[in-house]
Amino acid sequence: MIKKSISNCILFVVTVCLSAPVFAKDVSAKVMSYSCNTCHSSDRPLTRPDRMILKGQDANKLEKSLLDFKYDKRFSSIMGRISKGFTDTELKKLALYFSQLKGDD
């Protein structure tokens, strides 16, 4: 019984270690981006298309916009509240993620 528990424990640790790459940067940015796509989807943005398509935009520009929203340096109706829900590092990852999307991504 104890032997079985120990081997299950070892199996669990090995599984977690092997699955670590699944939690790499891009995946978490991708998961976070799901909460943006309702409004920022490139095929049917909810408001001004020129501002709402994030795909392929410059990463630094996106990051600056998000930080400006978060720290109330730029007026927003909704983005101030949304960006306050993320750490600065997460906003950087999101900016990088959206900047790297192209075509049908």
67 binds ligand HEC (CB under 6 A): no
* Residue (14 or 84) nearer to ligand HEC, CB: 84
Instruction: Provide the minimum distance between the beta carbon of 33 and ligand HEC in the complex, in angstroms, as a whole number.
Output: 7
82 binds ligand HEC (CB under 6 A): yes
Query: 63 and 95 in contact (C-beta within 8 Å)?
Result: yes
Q: Which of 59, 79, 96, 101 binds ligand HEC (CB under 6 A)?
A: 79
Q: In the numeric block, which tokens belong to residue 26?
A: 């891009």
77 vs 59: CA distance, rounded Å: 22
* Residue (3 or 102) nearer to ligand HEC, CB: 102
Other CB atoms within 10 Å distance of the CB of residue 90: 15
Query: 16 and 10 in contact (C-beta within 8 Å)?
Result: no
Instruction: Provide the minimum distance between the beta carbon of 14 and ligand HEC in the complex, in angstroms, as a whole number.
Output: 34
